[in-house]
Chain A
Amino acid sequence: MRSFSTYHPFILFIYYVFVLSITMFMMHPVILFLSLVGSLIFYMMLTSVRTLWKEIRFYLFVFILMAVTNPLFVHKGETILFFLNDNPVTYEAVVYGVFISMMLIAVVFWSKAYSYLMTSDKFVYLFGKTIPKLSLVISMALKFIPSFKQQIKKVHNTQKTLGIYTSESITDRIISGIRTFNSMISWSLENAIEQGDAMKAKGYGLKGRTNFSIFTWNHRDMFVFIIIVIVFIIIMFVNGLGGYSFTYYPVLSNWRITGNDIVKYILVMLLVFLPSLIELKENLQWKYAKSRI
């Protein structure tokens, strides 16, 4: 199920900006951990447990590599574990390595999830109002790409059938590619300019023309919008007051979570688990509705 993707593109965009901002610009370990868990759960809901497992194995390797190598680059920190080539390896640097790799992996998985949600049509729609000319260029380019790929294949196959550039040598392959490109360029430019002329003839850019879009802003978009904006503003406000500050060097800040902190982390949890909760709710609703048939 992908119910979060049915929300308005603007919601998807602003949610992504918010969640990436708190992940990338705030270094509190609890935030990084929550964001990582949120991104993994959401990615799993969009794909499957198996896909997540397959991809996480590679990132687990990155994770360990980062944690182990960070002390080699950073020698700050007071708790020296041992010396390597006369350079101190510190406990703080290892901890920093662990959490910074959490951040990187969280960012990667949020982005992966995002590319499932933000299809190119939504993308073009989102920027179509503010930068109409550029998004027209983008949507034209998006349309050209598959047809160019097809044409490249055709030209390439023709070359092969003619028996030219068939050897496996690297010069042959380069020359073949360049010849293909050479033939592509006039073909594509001439075709495209004709398309442009046709667009002009049909009145592109004249006053009073509207464009159709499938996306509408309704109550639930408004509801989610208000929630995420308020939560994000409160988080930023608390951060401005120093509520989420955490230092790694030279000594780690206090780890202990007291009663007052819980509220701060619940706010973050609300933000990072929101899409997963929406998915969960829709799934349960669907199951319930099915069971009543």
Chain B
Amino acid sequence: MKKQWINYFILLLLVPASIWFGVTMFEDRKYVFISFIIVILTLIPLILTFEKKESSIRYMVIIAVMTALSVVGRFLFAAIPGFKPVTAIVLLTAIYFGAEAGFLVGALTALISNIYFGQGPWTPFQMFAWGMIGLLAGLPWVRQMLQKNKFLLILAGLFAGVLFSLLMDVWTVLSVDGFFNVKRYITVVGLSLPFMITYAVSNVIFLLLTIKPIGEKLERIKKKYGI
């Protein structure tokens, strides 16, 4: 009961309050401020739900392992520039361990990989983007569909890679202009297009080649240790 109370409190009171605060305090920068606060306020209830829940240490260890794997994912394919299976690993976790695990692995990957690549105000946005990808892919019926249907899996891989890039570009434009400048957004997206494509394609390749062998292994682990 208590945790739900906090969630409602955040949604019903803190979000409008921070919008009001942003509008009155920071004239030109209100969108930057509000987007920032809302992203953080979205992360809080999701994290608190995990905090308050009773969960086995084995489950926590698995989340830590998947996070660490997706952080070192960049080193796995160091020989191929641009081939980063981070989103694919988040998707795999979501598919086999559910929405919460997907969210946590996504958000924590952003947080931890930024310890190596540089923390900054962009960290909450990356946590949000990856966390949401994990959360969406881990929803019960989405999981089942992705496990069965290869075509949907390809779509999900592409979509997740593109979505991450597009979301982060929104933040770039907002932080520069203070409002959503469509012209700059199109240019920024255009400039990041080659990276976006390599990124999305590498995720799809990785997913297609791993979904079966890794899936079997994860299923085995789940059965063996009863998670």
Contact = CB atoms under 8 A, between A and B. Distances in A.
Contacts of B184: 73
Contacts of B47: 131, 134
Given A192-B61, A193-B225, A25 B112 contact: no
Interface in A140-164: 140-142, 144-145, 148-149, 152
A142 B112 contact: yes
A55 to B, nearest CB: 12
Given A100-B177, A193-B221, A204-B57, 11 more contacts: A24-B33, A111-B121, A131-B48, A138-B108, A141-B64, A142-B68, A142-B112, A145-B112, A177-B83, A240-B25, A247-B28
19 contacts: A20-B121, A26-B26, A27-B29, A73-B183, A131-B47, A134-B51, A140-B61, A141-B68, A141-B71, A145-B72, A152-B76, A174-B205, A181-B85, A188-B69, A189-B62, A192-B61, A193-B62, A197-B58, A236-B25
Mostly, the A contact residues are helix
Mostly, the B contact residues are helix
A6 B188 CA distance: 40
Interface residues of A, number: 64
Contacts of A114: 119-120
B35 to A, nearest CB: 11
Contacts of B213: 182
Nearest to A201: B57
A26 B119 CA distance: 21
A247 B28 CA distance: 8
A27 B29 CA distance: 7
Nearest to A249: B28
B221 A138 contact: no
B29 A24 contact: yes
A228 interface: no
Contacts of A134: 47, 50-51, 104, 108
Interface string A65-99: 01000000110000000000000000000000000
A236 B67 CA distance: 38
**Chain B interface size range:** 35 or more
A120 B112 CA distance: 9
A290 B177 CA distance: 50
B200 to A, nearest CB: 15
Interface string A181-202: 1101110111011011101100
Contacts of B65: 141, 144, 188-189, 192
B178 interface: yes
Nearest to B117: A115
Contacts of B176: 66, 100, 104
Interface of B: 24-29, 32-33, 36, 47-48, 50-51, 55, 57-58, 60-65, 67-69, 71-73, 75-77, 79-80, 83, 85, 104, 108, 111-112, 115, 118-121, 175-178, 181, 183-184, 187, 205-206, 209-210, 213-214, 217-218, 221, 225
Contacts of A177: 76-77, 79-80, 83
A123 B28 contact: no
A173 interface: yes
A131 B50 CA distance: 9
A233 interface: no
Nearest to B227: A193
A54 to B, nearest CB: 16
A253 to B, nearest CB: 11
A137 B108 contact: yes
Contacts of A186: 217, 221
B119 A118 contact: yes
